[in-house]
Structure 1
C-alpha cells in the first residue's frame, strides 16, 4: 500500500464506524421502546391473571354453601364451573406462554422450574372395619401408585373374620404395616389417629377402605404441596354408585370437583373429600389429629382446626379418587344427628388437641395372677378412655385370654425392640425395671405392687438386685398406701397412688356351681400352694378339725392328700371365679406377703365374707368387725376360731356381708382410672 492511499483508507474506516454507531444507537432506542411496550403488556397479562383468579374465587364462594346437600344439579354446576375455569386457564396459559417468550427475549429473570422431590415419604392411612372385596380393591389402588416412595398403614377395628383374612394376606408386603384393635370403636377416628401416630412419612394421605385411588393421586398431591408450599391438598372425585343409597341424586361415574376453601366457607360445609386429602404430618401432630369426642363431622372438625391454626389448603382440579356411595356408608348412621355434630365441630375446632398417648405396660410373664389382672384392668380401661395401650411380656407367651374382655395388643419384648412412638412405658416388676431400659419411650413409670425383696430373703444377690430397682431414676406409682409410705421413707421416692378396684362386671353374686351344704359353711382357700408366703399351708391347718366344707383354688401346686379338701379346682379362668365365690360362704386368706390383695374384695362383691390375716396392705379396705374378721399373721388357732364364730353368729355374718357390699361400692375401678389418668397426664 502506497503512502498516499493511507489517509483515504483511514477516512473510509472512520465513516464506516460512524455509520455503525448511528445504527447501533437507533437499535438501542428501538429496543428500549419495545422493552417498555412489552413491560406494559406483561403488566396487563398479570392483571388478567389476577382477574381470572378472582373470578374463580367468586364462583366458589357463591357455590360452596350448597355443597353439603349433595344435589345432582349443583354438582353439574360445579362441573360446569370447573370446565369454565379450565377454559379460562387455557387462554391464560397461552397468554402466559407469550409472556414467557417475551420475558426471555428481553432478558427478565425467570422463576426456577418446579421438579418433584421423590425422596419425600408418604404414609397412606387406611382404617378398616368390615369391607371385603372393596377393601382388596382399595389396597391394590394404593399399591399401584405411580409415586413409589410410600408406606400403607392398615388399622383394623374389631374386624370380622373375612375382613381379617384379606388384611392378613398383606402382612408380609414390604410397603404395608398392620395394626389391630380387637373391639369395634364405631368410627374411623381411632384408626386414623393410630396411623398418624405410627407414620414414618412426612406426609399423611387418608384413604377410606372402600374407595379406589387414582394411580396418580400421590404424585399429584405431592407435586401440588411442594410447588405451592402449602400444608393440605385435596381434589376431585368420581362417584361409584351401586344404587343402594336412596338419599342421594348422584349418578354412577359422575365427577365432582371440590372448590378452594377458606375458614368461613369451611364453617358452613365440609369441603374436602376424605379420600383425596393429604396433610403434612407435622401439621397433624401440632393440632392433635382427629378429636375422638366428635363421632360425626370428625374430618370436618379437623379441617376447621387446621385452617384456624393457620395451615394452608389447596384444591387440586384433578380426580384423585373413586368414592363409593352405598347403603353401608358409616355416615348414614349419623344423618339424623347431622346438625348436632356440626355444632359440636364448630365449638371443638378452636382448641388444639393431642393424639392419644401410646402407653406400654411391661410384664414379667402372662400367668394368671392378681398383679397381671391389675395391669389388664389398667390397659383395657385406658383403651376404653381413648388411649393407645399395649402389653409387652418378657417371655415368649402372650396369651392373656384368661382375663375377661382382654382387648389390648400383647407382644413379646423381642417384638417391642421394633416399636416406636411409645409415650409412656410402665414397668410392673423388679425384672422389668432392668429389661425396660432397652425399650424406647418418652417417659418411664415404675409400678411397684409389692416389696419384692420379701419374695426370697435368703438369696442376698436377689435382694440386692431388687433393691437396686427402687433406687433407679424412674417415676414411681403404686397401688397401696403402705408401699407409697415405705418407698418415701426408705428411698425418698415421690410415689403416685392408684388403688386397685373391683370389677363388678366380672364379680357379682350368681348361681353357685353346687348348692351350699345345709347346716355348715363352705370355706374357700385361694392362693398358689407352692409359694410359701401365700400361707396356704396355714389355711389348710386352720380348717383341719372344723365341721365345714373346704374348696381350694390354686394356680400352682395341689393340696396334700392328708389335707381337708372337698373340691380342688386348680387354675381357674378369672371369669369363672364369681361362680366359685358365689358357691362359698367364707374366704380365708393367711398370706404373709401382699401388696393390695384382690380376692377378699372380690368375695365381698359376690356376697361372701373374708377372714384375713394381718398382712401389708390388708387395711386398704378391710375393717375388722365391719366388712371382715382380721386375725394375726400365722395365727392358725385364731383363724379356726373366727370361722367357728361366724358359723354360730348369723347376725354377725349378715352384718359383715352387708358391710362388704358397701365397701364394694367405694372401690370401683372408675375412680382408680381417674387417678391413673392424672399421673399419665402429669396433673
Structure 2
C-alpha cells in the first residue's frame, strides 16, 4: 500500500515520535510510505521512509496514495480536500482539550473519515466528545534501543530519579511538572537522592533541588537516561497513550506514574508500576519515597515492567494499522 503521513513537523514530543516509529515500521513491512512536511518544519527524528518537503501543506502538495493519515488537526483539511486517497484520521490526542481553536479542531473529527485512536481511554473520550467510534491501535517501544543499562547509583551510592520536564510556556500545561517539583522538594527533607531532568524544548528551567539537566535529541540518548535511573516519574493529567512509562519499563527502570487515561492499557498498579491520581502531591511523594527506600519492591516492579514491555513493539502497532486499513478496502 502507498501510505502518506502529512505532518507539520517532526520535532520533540510524543506525537512526532509516534509518527516516525509507525511510519518506519510500516516501511519495514514493505509498504510505500511517504511523509510530507513543510520546508519550515523541523525534523529531529530519523526516517527510513521517503520525506517530501513542500512549501506549505496544501491539498495540491499531498501526493496520491491508497491511504492518507493526517494526525494533528491542522493536517486534516489539506488531506481531505486533496482527494488523493482514502483519508483515515490518526488521532494521537483529542486536540480540543488543549488547543485554542477547540471548535475548529473538533470539526476535523466530523468530516466522515474513519478514525484511529491509540488507547481504550482515548477511544471512549472520542466517543463521548464526538459521538463517533474509532479503532484502537496501540503505541509501542523499540526494545533494541530501550533496554537496560548499568544504573548510575551503582557508582554513586545514591538513587537516581529521572523526569521529563515539558515547558508550560510551550503549551504543555497538563504535564504536571509543578506537582513533581513540589513532591521532590518535600522528599529532599527525608531522603538523599539524585535527580536527572530532561527538557525536550531546551527551555529555561530552575529546579528547587539540585539536579542534572540533560537534553535528549535521539532515542539512544533518551533510552540511556531512562535506563541509568532507578526510578522514572510521570505526572501528566491526561494522555491519549503516553510513551514514556512504557519506554522506562523496557529499560528496566521502576515507574511511578499518574493515572492519566491512555496508559491504563499497559500499566497495572503494584504489578509493573505504582499508580497515583493526577495532581495528588502527597500520594506522588509517598510512592516515590516507597520505591527509593524499598529496594526489593523497586527491583520487582522494574523486572516485571521490563518483561511486560517486550510484547509492545512498533511492528505490533504497524500490524494493527495494516489490518485496519486493509479492512477499509
Q: What TM-score, normalized to structure 2? A: 0.89
The structure number with the bigger radius of gyration is 1
| Structure 1 residues 185-218: Cα deviation after superposition (integer angstroms, max 9, x where no partner) | xxxxxxxxxxxxxxxxxxxxxxxxxxxxxxxxxx
Structure 2 partner of 1:528 = 166
Q: Measured at CA, do residues 677 and 419 of structure 1 come closer, stay the same or move farther in structure 2, by a change above 3 Å?
A: same
In 1, the alpha carbon distance for the partners of 2:82 and 2:154 equals 51
User: Which residue does the alignment assign to 2:36?
Assistant: 392
Question: Deviation digits for residues 532-551 of structure 1, max 9, x if unmatched?
Answer: 21111211221114221100
Report the equivalent of 2:271: 626
Equivalent of residue 23 in structure 2, options 379, 384, 392: 379
Structure-2 change in CA distance of 1:613 and 1:515 (3 Å) = closer
State the Cα deviation string for residues 657-677 of structure 1 (Å, max 9, x = none). Answer: 121022112322232221111
Q: Deviations over 1:125-163 (max 9, x none)?
A: xxxxxxxxxxxxxxxxxxxxxxxxxxxxxxxxxxxxxxx
Judge conservation of contact 1:522–1:549 (CA < 8 Å) in 2.
Answer: yes
Q: Is the 8 A contact 2:4 2:63 kept in 1?
A: no
SS in 2 for 1:534: coil
CA distance in 1: counterparts of 2:154 and 2:96, whole angstroms:
41
Find the counterpart in structure 1 of residue 261 from structure 2.
616
Q: Mapping of 1:659-674 within 5 angstroms?
A: 659-674=304-319
- Which residue in the other structure is 2:141 paired with? 502
Residue by residue over 1:586-641, the C-alpha shift from the partner in whole angstroms, topping out at 9 and shown as x without a partner, is 11111113111111111111110110112121211001100000111101121111
Q: Is 2:69 aligned against 1:426?
A: yes
2:80 paired with 1:442: no
- The residue correspondences of 1:451-466 to structure 2 (distance < 5 A) are 451-456=94-99, 459=100, 462-466=101-105
Q: Which has the higher contact order (CA 8 A, sep 6+)?
A: 2
Q: Is the contact between residue 365 and residue 394 of structure 1 (CA under 8 Å) also seen in structure 2?
A: yes
Q: Secondary structure at the match of 1:537?
A: helix
**Residue in 2 that maps onto 1:312:** none
1:574 aligned partner: 219
* C-alpha deviation, 1:367, in angstroms: 0.5
Equivalent residues of 1:528, 1:556 under 8 A apart: yes
1:412 equivalent in alignment to 2:57: no
Q: What does 1:70-89 correspond to in 2, within 5 Å?
A: none
Partner SS, residue 407 of structure 1: coil
Q: 1:659 to 1:571 in 2, by over 3 A?
A: closer
Whether the aligned pair in 1 keeps the contact of 2:253 and 2:306 (CA below 8 Å) is no
Mark the CA change 1:424 to 1:565 in structure 2 (over 3 Å): closer, same or farther.
Answer: farther
Q: TM-score, normalising length from structure 1? A: 0.45
Contact 2:163 2:234 in 1 (8 A): yes
**SS at 2:264 equivalent:** helix
Choose from 122, 125, 142 the match for 1:483. Answer: 122
Q: Which runs of 5+ in 1 are unaligned?
A: 1-356
Quick one: distance in 2 between partners of 1:599 and 1:375?
15
Aligned length: 319
Q: Which runs of 5+ in 2 are unaligned?
A: none
Secondary structure of 1:532's match?
Answer: coil
CA drift of 1:558 comes to 3.9
Q: Tell me which of 244, 251, 260 is aligned to 1:606.
A: 251
Q: 2:299 aligns with which of 654, 668, 681?
A: 654
TM-superposed CA distance for 1:394, in Å, is 4.4
Contact 1:392 1:410 in 2 (8 A): yes
Residues 409 and 527 of structure 1, relative CA distance in 2, 3 Å threshold: farther
Between Structure 1 and Structure 2, which shows a larger proportion of helix residues?
A: 1
C-alpha displacement at 1:442, in angstroms? 2.0
**3-state SS, counterpart of residue 432 of structure 1:** helix
Query: Equivalents in 2 of 1:660, 1:364: separation in Å?
Result: 34
Return 503-512 or 407-416, whichever deviates more: 407-416
Partner of 2:107: 468
Kindly indicate whether the alpha-carbon contact (under 8 Å) linking 2:232 and 2:245 is maintained by their aligned counterparts in 1: yes
User: Any idea what SS the aligned residue of 2:115 has?
Assistant: strand
CA deviations over 1:313-360 (Å, ceiling 9, x no partner): xxxxxxxxxxxxxxxxxxxxxxxxxxxxxxxxxxxxxxxxxxxx2110
Deviation at 1:441, TM superposition (A): 2.0
Task: Please state if 1:548 is matched with 2:193.
Answer: yes
Secondary structure of the 2:166 match is: coil
**Alpha-carbon shift at residue 576 of structure 1 (Å):** 1.3
